Amino acid sequence: MTMDKNKKTIYIDLYNNTYTEEELLNNIHILDIRNILETQKLTLDFCHNVILDIKNHKCIEDSYLDMSDIYKYQPHLRNDK
């Protein structure tokens, strides 16, 4: 997954809307990783490549995220192991 740097940043309300992974990725620089994890339905690939990627972490708490958090907030992924 890559971020298109030519894309315009949009206002994102994670708690009241759902977004494509592409939209999330294009706006990752303004979004909180934990909020994405807790509010959006994600694929395992997105979780591995974006949520757990340290370059997307903005605070120390982000670095504590692991697969147990992913399975907690993305229970549909338990069957995708």
The C-alpha atoms of residue 27 and residue 70 are separated, in whole angstroms, by 20
Domain ranges of the chain: 21-80
For the entire predicted model, the pTM comes to 0.81
What are the pLDDT tens digits along the chain (81 aa)? 444 555 555 678 999 999 999 999 999 999 999 999 999 999 999 999 999 999 999 999 999 999 999 999 999 998 755
Gap between the terminal Cα atoms of the chain: 20
